DNA sequence: GTCTATACCCTGATAGAC
DNA sequence: GTCTATCAGGGTATAGAC
């Protein structure tokens, strides 16, 4: 199965967008890497923005929240520390998934420049994670598994390091520097956090 | 005291760089906002990159670490929670300082695109904060003020939310949305964190 | 679906008059 | 120190042949 030209364009565009941002990537560069002329791009996409929109709408909704929100949250929350471990593992895995990683890099570049990306970041990315986590912490509190506190604050406090460690790992890997030390922080975060909140 | 043309150029350039990034800002836009012709820019700076370098070298070293590393770290660390409160307050204040805020936005845009900015982020920004915090936590552990743990991990766990909350506040303010809810997170973070680590 | 050719705009930068 | 004039290069996009 050969990849269609359209898919090749999308792959190359995501690659370049994640390295140089939207404005820093030219139709010329995309077509050159795909192996066609600039004008041939316009047989597949209306214009440059159309390429971007296609990529964004296919990658915007976080695969993490989809993964978890399949079943009712109770089943997960009652697993306590294991739930947090699984959540963090999914989060960490995303930074090793090729497309997710590239989209994350692109999102970071555009976050301060594009309102559309900011909305995706908050709605699809951030809020959906906070919702799952705060619900889970609420249940854990009810069950007496963890100390009582504001579940939403706890969710923020739990999620922030995961985001920051992912960002650090991404940055280090750009320069092909060793990111294994940062990678261990994901697991250490779980141990540290659980140690602090658990009633055990 | 009138501002010199050179300073006007630097101010306008930082403003635009923080909104559109380095590549997205043209000499024409800068000169236009300053009120001179493109060519007049070159009487003050060798080229576009020279403008950037001047800005970066004047804003790179975080004012926060300078503020704190004046005195030996012991004096601060022994204050326990108050030290953390002061640290977070300085961190929060930076996001309300006009130039610091603009430089932060610029740094976020360029983090995935420029190796130079990545080095500044890690060396001037991140590592210096981690060093201060880990030293402070180490002292607090010795004094029995907080539970024993890995001081560097604790520093990472303490700093990550501060960074993430600052980033959220910055993003919200771009769209002129209400950031007061995020602003309270800085203080809540201190209470939450201290509650967890203190032996009291 | 891809090509050549072309239109037109924006970019950073320089030369030389004032 | 600022201006006008000018340049080469790269940007998006379209028309029309194959």
Paired strand residues for A198? A146
Q: Are B69 and B132 in contact (CB under 8 A)?
A: yes
d(CA B151, CA B76): 16
d(CA A195, CA B150): 13
- CA B125 from chain centre, in angstroms, equals 7
Q: Are A95 and A101 in contact (CB under 8 A)?
A: yes
A191 shares a domain with A93: yes
pLDDT at B62 over 90: no
A15 shares a domain with A105: no
Q: Which one is predicted more confidently, B155 or A3?
A: B155
Query: Which nucleotide is closest, CA of B25 to its C1'?
Result: C11
A170 shares a domain with A89: yes
Query: Which nucleotide is closest, CA of B51 to its C1'?
Result: C12
A189 shares a domain with A98: yes
A166 shares a domain with A125: yes
Measure CB to CB from residue B20 to each of A113, A122, A165 and give the nearest one: A113
Give yes or no for CB of B39 within 7 Å of strand D: yes
Give yes or no for CB of A42 within 7 Å of strand D: yes
Mean pLDDT of B96-113: 96
The interaxial angle of helices B180-197 and B81-94, nearest 10 deg, is 160
Residue A39 CA and nucleotide C3 C1' are separated, in Å, by: 9
Interface A–B counts its CB contacts (< 8 A) at 103
Task: Read off the tokens for A158.
Answer: 């739990």
DSSP state at residue B61: S
Residue B183 falls inside a structural domain: yes
Residue B10 CA and nucleotide C18 C1' are separated, in Å, by: 27
Residue A56 falls inside a structural domain: no
Task: Read off the tokens for B130.
Answer: 């981690």
d(CA B111, CA B94): 19
Place of tokens 């399949």: A70
Mean pLDDT of B20-29: 98
Domain count for chain B: 2
Neighbours of A61 (CB within 10 A): 14
- pLDDT for res A60: 85
d(CA B122, CA B129): 10
A29 shares a domain with A117: no
Contacts of B121 in chain A (CB under 8 A): 171
> Taking CA atoms, what residue in B is nearest to A163?
B164
Residue B55 falls inside a structural domain: no
Return averaged pLDDT per consecutive 10 residues of chain A, 200 residues in all: 92 98 98 98 98 95 65 88 95 90 97 97 92 96 97 98 97 96 97 95
> Taking CA atoms, what residue in B is nearest to A18?
B112
Q: Which nucleotides of D are covered by protein (CB under 7 A)?
A: 1-5, 10-16
Give yes or no for CB of B160 within 7 Å of strand C: no
- pLDDT for res B163: 98
Q: Which one is predicted more confidently, B157 or B61?
A: B157
- pLDDT for res B184: 97
A99 shares a domain with A14: no
Residue A160 CA and nucleotide C1 C1' are separated, in Å, by: 48
Calculate what percentage of chain B has a pLDDT beyond 90. Answer: 85
pLDDT at B70 over 80: no
A75 shares a domain with A25: no
Alpha-carbon distances, residue B186 vs A128, B34, B195 (angstroms): 22, 37, 14
| Measured distance between the N- and C-terminal CA atoms of chain B, rounded to whole angstroms | 54
Residue B56 falls inside a structural domain: no
Closest-CA distance, B163 to chain A, in angstroms, reads 8
H helices of A79-150, in order, are 81-94, 98-110, 115-120, 128-142
Q: Which residue is nearest to nucleotide C5 (CA to C1')?
A: A39
Type and span of the H or E element at B196: helix B180-197
- pLDDT for res A115: 97
B19 shares a domain with B112: no
B183 shares a domain with B132: yes
Query: Which nucleotide is closest, CA of A43 to its C1'?
Result: C1
Which structural domain range is residue B22 located in? 5-50
- E-assigned strands of chain B? none
pLDDT at B68 over 80: no
B110 shares a domain with B78: yes
- pLDDT for res A22: 98
Mean pLDDT over each residue of chain B, to the nearest integer: 94
Measure CB to CB from residue A156 to each of B157, B171, B185 and give the nearest one: B185
Q: Closest Cα partner for A180 from A107, A85, A96? A: A96
The interaxial angle of helices B5-20 and B48-59, nearest 10 deg, is 90
DSSP state at residue A198: B
Residue B76 falls inside a structural domain: yes
B89 shares a domain with B24: no
Q: Which residue is nearest to nucleotide C2 (CA to C1')?
A: A40
Contact B192 A149 (CB under 8 A): yes
Residue B127 falls inside a structural domain: yes
Closest-CA distance, B2 to chain A, in angstroms, reads 32
pLDDT band at B11 (very low <50, low <70, confident <90, very high): very high
- pLDDT for res A188: 98
Mean pLDDT of B43-49: 98
d(CA A22, CA B161): 29
Give yes or no for CB of B24 within 7 Å of strand C: no
Residue A165 falls inside a structural domain: yes
Q: Closest Cα partner for B125 from B100, B102, B157? A: B100
Domain of residue B28, CATH code: 1.10.10.60
Q: Which of A104, A107, A112, A129 to mutate to test the interface with B (most CBs of B within 10 A)?
A: A112
Give residues with Cβ within 8 angstroms of B90, minimum separation 6: B64, B67, B68
Mean pLDDT of B43-55: 98
Residue A156, phi then psi, degrees to nearest 5: -60, -45
- pLDDT for res A70: 67
d(CA A91, CA A57): 20
- Backbone Cα Rg of chain A: 20
Domain of residue B86, CATH code: 1.10.357
């Amino acid at each position: 199965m050969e990849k269609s030209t359209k898919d090749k364009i999308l792959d190359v565009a995501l690659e370049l967008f994640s390295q140089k941002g939207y404005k820093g990537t030219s139709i010329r560069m995309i077509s050159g890497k795909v192996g066609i002329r600039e004008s041939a791009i316009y047989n597949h996409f209306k214009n440059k923005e159309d390429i971007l929109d296609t990529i964004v709408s296919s990658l915007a909704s976080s695969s993490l929240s989809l993964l978890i929100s399949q079943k009712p949250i109770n089943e997960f929350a009652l697993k306590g520390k294991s739930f947090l471990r699984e959540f963090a593992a999914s989060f960490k895995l995303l930074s090793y998934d090729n497309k997710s990683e590239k989209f994350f890099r692109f999102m970071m570049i555009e976050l301060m420049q594009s309102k559309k990306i900011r909305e995706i970041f908050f709605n699809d990315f951030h809020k959906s994670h906070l919702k799952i986590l705060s619900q889970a912490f609420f249940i854990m509190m009810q069950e007496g598994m963890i100390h009582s506190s504001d579940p939403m604050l706890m969710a923020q406090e739990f999620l922030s390091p995961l985001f920051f460690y992912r960002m650090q790992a991404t940055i280090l890997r750009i320069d092909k520097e060793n990111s294994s030390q940062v990678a261990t922080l994901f697991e250490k975060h779980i141990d540290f956090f659980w140690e602090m909140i658990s009633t055990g």
